[in-house]
Structure 1
Amino acid sequence: MASVIGFRELSFFARNLENKCLSRVQVRSLGGADSSVLSSDSVVVNGASIGRERERAGTLVDQGNGRLRTKVEEKKRVEDNVLETLEPLWDDGYGTETVRDYFDMAKDIVKPDGGPPRWFCPVSCGSPLKDSPVLLFLAGMDGTGLGLVLHHKALGKAFEVRCLHIPVHDRTPFEGLVKLVEETVRLEQAASPNKPIYLVGDSFGGCLALAVASRNPTIDLVLILSNPATSFGRSQLQPLFPILEAMPDGLHSAFPYLLSSIMGDPVKMAMVNIESRLPPRQRFEQLSRGLTALLPYLSDLADIIPKDTLLWKLKLLKSAAAYANSRLHAVKAEVLVLSSGKDNMLPSGDEAHRLKKSLQNCVVRHFKDNGHTLLLEDGICLMTIIKGTLKYRHSRRHDFVSDFLPPSTAELKYICDQVIGFIRSASGSAMFSTLEDGKIVEGLAGVPNEGPVLLVGYHMLMGLELGPLVERFLIEKNTMVRGLAHPTLFSRTFESSSSEFFFGDWVKVFGAVPVTASNLFKLLSTKSYVLLYPGGAREALHYKGEEYKLFWPDQQEFVRMAARFGATIVPFGVVGEDDIAEFVLDYNDLMKIPVVNDRIRDANRNAIRVRDESSGEVASQQLFLPGLLPKIPGRFYYLFGKPIETKGKEEILKDKEVAKQLYSQVKSEVESNIAFLLKKREEDPYRSVIDRTLYKAMHAPSHEVPAFKP
């Protein structure tokens, strides 16, 4: 059977073999002179037609005459298919592949071929964005290299993905695997010296990634470690290993089922493609069917990890953990550790915190409901985690504008269901906009369809208005709104003490950037839609009796920047915070409570200041969590005012008085919009959540609940 390999893989070898012609398209070991062929089925997802997959994914095959298409032809073909950017709500493919697909592909890839460890490019990854960095996946104990099967499509948009396959009967020692990966890393670094190289290490692969990083401190590496096996010496299964070694071969047939329950959570594996919005009964039925269908596949673990291979892998794990732990001090790379709360094989939660203290630049995200095989279980897509922790970049430093990837459809669905679900359903947001002739209409028709656009408005209590606003722009206008947020949101001190993937991470996934002049400059220069709150934290964390009061600085901070790029300014107002919660304790009240006041002082002592005292009252941005009592929910109302054009108004840049007048006009428009909404909401027959619920029960759920007549 002809071997199949992605063009990205071939071009990689072509670069490093100095344009020498290969007689056959092969996947070669980077660790030696021997070559071997990887089964073509291993890179064809779901057993699809090889010919169709070759055509779709641009794979190369031996054309029978021993020659390959010219490099120029292939380069042009690839360049024609390369994406420059991703559109908002792109398809990340999460949930389309399951653990059953992993087992189906593993059946073919584990067939003995006598070859050494080698790299392959999954066909399902497709073609990445232009100038994407390389991501090397280092597998866990299974060695198949298929551990990212749930994430191939998403990662394939942002990375050149290559996976390390270690054949089932291969006995390369740990040092040999380290040299193999190290050589690949160095070749990639030589080919693209300004790009980072990503090493995703799963369990055993985590030790391998750390070992390579410790030996190459000058190379720009980003390590993503999923339950790394550096804690193997403290594994709760240590007493079972001697028993396993003495186990008769006849009893080994039952071991795959034991191993599967230890390695991962079958329930989380079966939940990958189950729709979260289904009624509980239907979800349970689908879960039951999924578990039943998954059970027969578990016997395949005996082929993926036979007894002799398992015993070898355990010895390999021991040496890998010792090697990596002895060199942690030498790791200079950027590290993201993903740990599971229900890992029955390793103490991954404790190990993650140990690594965070031992490594120089380490961030942890903990997933309390997942097992050891985190990357094969239901949860958040790996690409989402990378984006939310700001690990995705093309150069030495992360750039909030050029490195941003818009949210996918799955990410929007997840955040709407799991993160802001209550606020979203309780607020029942009603949005209005103003056309050029001054007419107010429902929806966002009055907001310009082309950027740059600067949305300037009132920041409601706790920023509760953000989620519905961003969601509506994505759904109605297919537009990503980039919010300028307080820098504290991007500080390590703001991270959750539990290290879970939290709201602050989701804010970054959905485009927030620190509020700085340079970031505003970059966003407007790329014709983005920018969300700006001049009142900042002072409005979002206001005191009692200050509802809907603007706290804007005296300087016209944004007007000149908008005029420089000819941006359209859209003033907007929003009301509804008093319909959601009762304000019980503000900053002054909390500072009267012992212990609580000390914590607030500590939090603000090292807080990042956006403005100095010359900015007036808006500079008094004391960060705190107000005391709130929930109410029977009312409704959020948004009104986007008449767009204000700055294009062609050069006098704004030259004359401070003209800029000040425009600044006052925008502020006045925001106040007028708030006053309009406060008055008109009294006319809304569906202001109460009870009335909206009854309306939805009587009409199709897809219908928008109407509001007042504008």
Structure 2
Amino acid sequence: MATIGVCLFSAPADFSPVFRRHVVSASGKLVKLWNPFLKPLAVWTEEQPSTAATTTTTRNFVEKKTSSDDEERVDDVEESDSYKRRKSLKDYLDEAKELIRSDGGQPHWFCPIECGCHTPDSPLLLYLPGMDGVGLGLTMQHQRLGKIFDVWCLHIPVKDRTSFTGLVKLIEKKVKVENSHLPKRPIYLVGESLGACLALAVASRNPQIDLILILSNPATSYSNSVLQQTVPLLGLIPDQVTSLCYMLSLITGPSGDPWKMVMDSVVKGLSLQSTVEELSQNLVKLSSYLPVLADIFPKETLLWKLELLKSASAYANARLHAVKAQTLILCSGKDQLLPSQEEGQRLCHALPNCQMRMLENSGHFLFMEDGVDLVTIIKGASFYRRGNNLDYVSDFMLPTTPEFNKVFENMRWMSVVTSPVMFSTLEDGKIVRGLSGIPSEGPVLFVGYHNLLGFEVMPLIPQFLLERNILVRGIAHPMMFYQQRERGSLDLSSFDTVRLMGAVPVSASNFYRLMSSKSYALLYPGGVREALHRKGEEYKLFWPEQSEFVRMAARFGAKIIPFGAVGEDDIAELVFDYNDQMKIPYLKSIIEEETNGVIKLRTDASGEVANQQMHWPYFVPKVPGRFYYHFGKPIETEGMKHELRDREKSHELYLQVKSEVEKSLAYLKEKREHDPYRKLLPRLVYLATNGFTSEVPTFEP
């Protein structure tokens, strides 16, 4: 009962124009001071537990009826606007300038006001800054983070000289206070470079507290970085122009590279004059950042921070063995400051509960880059939870409109070359093109046949969202979510899109939660054995002898929709399958290693369905044909809960569903022979004539 991996795929009004700042008086009472010059920051200097805001912002996929009773997708305006209003590097520097203007005292915590719309059950997120120490490194992420986290940021004043162990104790105090207040709520420590070392140190000293670490380009690699060579050089420089220019290029990342600016202009098709003008404007804008950086990094502070990095790296590396926290490491491919990719791989091997994500085109300060969305990364890695354990149903957040659009754009080529055709069955048994036969309310369980490598899922999930605004959640193999320690070589990041779109690992508890929440779930009883079938086994079902889903569906009155999908044989030909590979000792050992590296399913089953060997079937692409889907008439289980407790009756329904899937496959294989647009060339001619967004005709159902 599992699917196989597939490649799918603001601040409140009363704070403007005046901003509010909170401080604590000598008596310990919270005092509200109004100051038109302060940026939107809520500051708290004492170690008191944070309180969750009461404003709830939730996005749902919704449907509305048009005049023709067709459902259409409705964008979430608020979510889309939040992307449009996303802050920039300029906002970071402007806010940093205001924050350090009256700088002084000791390190303290503050909460950005645009982070104040989270739900009461949101987990706590503590941001630990990098070398700058300002605490505004998540400026471009605040609006989205603030909707799902209780965000607090650490500010280290420019002239502060607190030692690394002193900073660790300060963070540790905050963590313990918050944990004692809400012990069942996880605490996220998001740290970059220096902040990553602080997070590791705190986690090593507090293994009993539920911490989740998100580390960006950790400075644990300081001893192998160019920064260590910079220390003696900075001592000889009489002014800071050189160091400031260097720090500027690091903060702006690849986007601040003048050569990249020129190349981007060429790609845009700008004239030489326009290119020179744009480059000049960008260089003027970048040079305007120098005075702010001079305030953030005076020479003595920069030297102190480099010494702090040295001690931070040594301390964190010495205590890696004690870190038990769930950890996500983000590594930039163009980090000019630290060897982040190599360090990420090292840390992943050293930490017991760790994953890594590579951001190949990002610089050191990746949270300040336009293409990086921390919330999407967290969701895709299944790192968001509100309690001690991850609940794949209640902790799941629907993909936002921009997230879906990005997924859809990445998969658009699949829709263009395969022009998928979907048919559904109405209550009277009539087959119609489109998904109008799909019930408007859940729970609904789609049960079908798995094509080679799950290719059929790629157009299926987006089409349901586009046509019916329905998110179909796949019940997937656990290998998409976790693998056994020290075994297997599957890259979990390749499944981030699958998880972002709502897939859950196969288990009785997850199946129960999906049905109880009236979800639309997608189940492939043939699982890995069908998706990794051998030559000559196209469209052959490999289902267990006993039913696995009927009684659970009946328990919640779910509608079971059997469906078939054909077309894999029109896009690829399997040439080197499992049987061929097992004859070669080297490939046989790889298959055995990969199979041992994933969690076993159906250990009590027998026959071919239990033969779920992990391997990569080799195939030769064909000139792309077309994908066809047929969703059968929904099978009602409402009121059959007690009746289907009888094993014989539940097995009869199970066999009926299997038979309907086979009928759907046979129907599509026969009907596609009469499709004048089955081949690629006729479809391309039609699209070129009628527009590439046109619906290509097909056979009459």
- Please classify the TM superposition score into its range, dividing by the shorter chain length: 0.7 to 0.9
Match of 2:66 in 1: none
Once the two structures are TM-superposed, the CA of residue 60 in structure 1 deviates from its matched residue by 11
Structure 1 position 534 matched with structure 2 position 531? no
Match of 1:82 in 2: 56
Match of 2:403 in 1: 411
Match of 2:369 in 1: 377
Once the two structures are TM-superposed, the CA of residue 4 in structure 1 deviates from its matched residue by 1.7
Match of 1:555 in 2: 546
Match of 2:507 in 1: 516
Once the two structures are TM-superposed, the CA of residue 124 in structure 1 deviates from its matched residue by 2.9
Match of 1:676 in 2: 667
Structure 1 position 24 matched with structure 2 position 12? no
Structure 1 position 257 matched with structure 2 position 245? yes
Matched residues in 2 for 1:271 and 1:527: separation?
53
Distance 1:292 1:647, change over 3 A: farther
Distance 1:291 1:464, change over 3 A: farther
The one-letter amino acid of 1:82's match is T
Distance 1:189 1:532, change over 3 A: same
Deviations 1:43-86 (A, max 9, x none): 27xxxxxxxxxxxxxx899xxxxxxxxxxxx99xx53x324675
Match of 1:170 in 2: 160
Range moving further from structure 2, 291-300 or 555-564: 291-300
Matched residues in 1 for 2:223 and 2:454: separation?
46
The one-letter amino acid of 1:583's match is L
Distance 1:644 1:156, change over 3 A: same
Match of 2:584 in 1: 593
Distance 1:279 1:253, change over 3 A: closer
Mapped contact 1:117–1:166 kept (Cα < 8 A): yes
Structure 1 position 4 matched with structure 2 position 20? yes
Tell me which of 385, 390, 395 is aligned to 1:393: 385
Matched residues in 2 for 1:269 and 1:684: separation?
52
Match of 2:12 in 1: none
Matched residues in 2 for 1:323 and 1:570: separation?
57
Match of 2:459 in 1: 468
Q: Secondary structure at the match of 1:573?
A: strand
Once the two structures are TM-superposed, the CA of residue 120 in structure 1 deviates from its matched residue by 2.1
Match of 1:357 in 2: 349
Once the two structures are TM-superposed, the CA of residue 403 in structure 1 deviates from its matched residue by 1.7
The one-letter amino acid of 1:154's match is R
Distance 1:656 1:23, change over 3 A: closer
Matched residues in 2 for 1:404 and 1:565: separation?
21
Matched residues in 2 for 1:685 and 1:294: separation?
57
Mapped contact 2:201–2:315 kept (Cα < 8 A): yes
- 1:91-490 matches, within 5 Å, as 91=79, 93-94=82-83, 96-249=86-239, 252-262=240-250, 265-267=253-255, 281=268, 291=282, 295-299=286-290, 300-418=292-410, 420-490=411-481
Distance 1:708 1:125, change over 3 A: farther
How many pairs does the alignment contain? 655
Unaligned runs of 5+ in 1: 27-36, 45-58, 62-73
Once the two structures are TM-superposed, the CA of residue 270 in structure 1 deviates from its matched residue by 11
Once the two structures are TM-superposed, the CA of residue 580 in structure 1 deviates from its matched residue by 1.0
Q: Secondary structure at the match of 1:660?
A: helix
Matched residues in 1 for 2:663 and 2:230: separation?
72
Deviations 1:599-651 (A, max 9, x none): 11222245433224645322222221111111111111111111111101245
Deviations 1:80-104 (A, max 9, x none): x324675587637457333233223
Deviations 1:316-365 (A, max 9, x none): 22222222223223323222211222222112222222322333322222
Mapped contact 1:454–1:568 kept (Cα < 8 A): yes
Matched residues in 2 for 1:113 and 1:611: separation?
62
Match of 1:67 in 2: none
Mapped contact 2:39–2:95 kept (Cα < 8 A): yes
Q: Secondary structure at the match of 2:31?
A: coil
Match of 1:71 in 2: none
Matched residues in 1 for 2:441 and 2:156: separation?
50
Q: Secondary structure at the match of 1:175?
A: helix
The one-letter amino acid of 1:361's match is N
Deviations 1:174-223 (A, max 9, x none): 23322221221111111101111000001111111122222222211111
Mapped contact 2:216–2:330 kept (Cα < 8 A): yes
Structure 1 position 580 matched with structure 2 position 571? yes
TM-score, normalised to structure 1's length? Answer: 0.84
The one-letter amino acid of 1:266's match is P
Mapped contact 1:226–1:338 kept (Cα < 8 A): yes
Range moving further from structure 2, 622-631 or 355-364: 355-364
Deviations 1:210-264 (A, max 9, x none): 2222222221111111011122122123222212122112xx2343222233455
Distance 1:706 1:381, change over 3 A: farther
Deviations 1:293-323 (A, max 9, x none): 7534442422332223212211222222222
Matched residues in 1 for 2:219 and 2:233: separation?
21
Match of 2:516 in 1: 525
Q: Secondary structure at the match of 1:574?
A: strand
Tell me which of 529, 545, 567 is aligned to 2:558: 567
Mapped contact 1:429–1:468 kept (Cα < 8 A): yes
Distance 1:518 1:341, change over 3 A: same
Distance 1:319 1:224, change over 3 A: same
Matched residues in 1 for 2:391 and 2:174: separation?
26
Percent of residue pairs identical: 50
Distance 1:137 1:60, change over 3 A: closer
TM-score, normalised to structure 2's length? Answer: 0.85
Distance 1:331 1:259, change over 3 A: same
Tell me which of 614, 617, 620 is aligned to 1:623: 614
Distance 1:488 1:270, change over 3 A: farther
Mapped contact 2:573–2:621 kept (Cα < 8 A): yes
Match of 1:49 in 2: none
Mapped contact 1:5–1:121 kept (Cα < 8 A): no
Mapped contact 1:132–1:159 kept (Cα < 8 A): yes
Once the two structures are TM-superposed, the CA of residue 402 in structure 1 deviates from its matched residue by 1.9
Range moving further from structure 2, 310-319 or 225-234: 310-319
Structure 1 position 666 matched with structure 2 position 657? yes
The one-letter amino acid of 2:343's match is E
Matched residues in 2 for 1:221 and 1:612: separation?
34
Mapped contact 2:442–2:520 kept (Cα < 8 A): yes
Structure 1 position 42 matched with structure 2 position 39? yes
Distance 1:547 1:85, change over 3 A: same
Distance 1:329 1:622, change over 3 A: closer
Q: Secondary structure at the match of 2:462?
A: helix
Once the two structures are TM-superposed, the CA of residue 532 in structure 1 deviates from its matched residue by 0.5
Mapped contact 1:365–1:499 kept (Cα < 8 A): no
Mapped contact 2:480–2:492 kept (Cα < 8 A): no
Distance 1:222 1:650, change over 3 A: closer
